[in-house]
Structure 1
Amino acid sequence: MKRLVCIGVGLLLLGSCAHPAAYFGKIEPPEGAVLRVGNGADPASLDPHRAPGSVEEQIVINLFEGLTEYDPVTLDPIPAVAEAWEVNEHATRFRFRLRRTARWSNGRPVTAWDFVYSWRRALAPETASPNAYLLYYIKNAEAYNTG
């Protein structure tokens, strides 16, 4: 009986050593510019200023690029739309230099005014952004949003 148990356990262990590719099919990516995200739920909104949670965030972060992003290893800020930036000694003033190649999907260049418009809209009380508080570190942003 012991021998049968040992053989059974051995076969089980050998079976679990199969290459992982044996368990998954190969799916070719679709042609064209298609973004597919398996969220488990439908998004409430794709408006980046009205996206209320992580379901929407998983899509929005793939649709809109920020000035910077985080290095996945060090978590330091790295260039995105901004190719370079300067910060004053008190970290109260930031100057970003945008990539000349940054474009909207219609080919129009991304400008500094696009960011200004976006942040003002996010803070505007009529937008009712659930994430407006993330911009409260900007001088007078909270007063503008709540006033």
Structure 2
Amino acid sequence: MRFVLIKKKWILIGAALFALAGFGGWYYLNPLADTTLKMENSSMNLEIHMVTGEFKSKTADGKEIEAYRWDPGTIYIPQGKQVTLNIHGVNGNEHPFRIEGTEIKGVVKKGSKTAIPLKFEEEGIYRLICDTHSHHGQGVPMVAYIVVD
């Protein structure tokens, strides 16, 4: 009886290892299984997604305050790589924007996606600025940081 239990145990362990090895091989060889893992060594275009967000609150005296933001507020882009920044308009009717230090300008509209092709040859930090919400008199400036390294 003990021999049969030991044999079943080793059969189960062998089957589990076989299944694990099979899945690992499929995962490693399948180009769609993990595109981020294979992105580094391919010519595929890297895509980054961002949304427009809004915070609203009231002060103790009833005054309404609001702040808009890009989310995430900081993105990282490899130097010299082609990247598409997709910004999805969620809050605010529209956000005309510019990327400081470049000629890139555009508008993100509520309910739409704005695709921005990017390729930075120089390292640095570039600011994505909403021109509607860029001044301190309008609340908190709507700025995101693009870190190129």
TM-score by length of 1: 0.28
Query: Comparing both chains, which one has the higher relative contact order based on Cα–Cα distances under 8 Å and sequence gaps of 6 or more?
Result: 2
Whose helix proportion is higher, 1 or 2?
1
TM-score by length of 2: 0.28
